[in-house]
């Protein structure tokens, strides 16, 4: 009799676990779904990286080194404006790139929904950086003048 009682208790515990586990997974998924991303996946083509993700640590357009930002740290992600800092290569006046990377400042703005993905996303990215290592920061610029809305994919 005692062994049947223990079996029933164990079975009841297993059923309770099965009922609770999906509810927990759903709650975690809904929280993740509310975390905004930066634009849409592959915003700048199939070789781009970081776009369409939350708090990307790397952004890459898929082209030259000036479109490759690494070591990004974000603050106020999920707020009206997210602020980030990372490392980037800048072009020398005579061509080529400086050996030492510069710190680049980022601002993700225009928090809304991308129609193409249905996700909450920052739809604009602004940046400013020095023109050379150790130089002063320049003015804020939109990430690309021809691709202002990060919800649209470039191919």
Phi, psi of 114 (to 5 degrees): -80, 120
Q: How far apart are CA 125 and CA 39, in angstroms?
A: 9
| DSSP characters over 78-146 | TSSSEEEEEEE--B-TTSSB-SS-EEEEEEEEEEEE-TTT--EEEEEEEEE-BSSTTPPB---EES-TT
Residue 99 has pLDDT above 90, yes or no: yes
pLDDT score of 18:
37
When mean pLDDT is compared across 33-42, 80-89, 100-109, the lowest value belongs to 33-42
Domain residue limits, the chain: 1-34, 37-142
Q: Report residue 25's pLDDT band, with 50, 70 and 90 as the boundaries.
A: very low
Q: Quick: pLDDT tens for 26-72.
A: 333 333 558 999 999 877 888 899 999 999 999 999 889 999 999 99
């Amino acid at each position: 009799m005692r062994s049947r009682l223990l079996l029933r208790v164990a079975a009841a515990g297993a059923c309770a676990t099965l009922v609770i586990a999906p509810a927990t997974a759903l709650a975690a998924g809904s929280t993740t779904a509310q975390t905004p991303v930066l634009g849409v996946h592959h915003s700048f083509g199939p070789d781009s990286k970081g776009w369409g993700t939350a708090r990307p640590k790397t952004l890459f357009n898929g082209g030259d080194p000036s479109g490759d930002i690494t070591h990004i740290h974000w603050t106020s992600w999920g707020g009206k404006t997210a602020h980030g800092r990372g490392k980037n290569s800048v072009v020398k006046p005579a061509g080529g790139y400086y050996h030492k990377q510069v710190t680049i400042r980022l601002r993700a703005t225009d928090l809304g929904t991308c129609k193409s993905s249905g996700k909450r996303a920052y739809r604009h990215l602004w940046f400013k950086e020095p023109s050379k290592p150790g130089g002063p920061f320049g003015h804020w610029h939109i990430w690309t003048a021809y691709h202002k809305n990060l919800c649209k994919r470039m191919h």
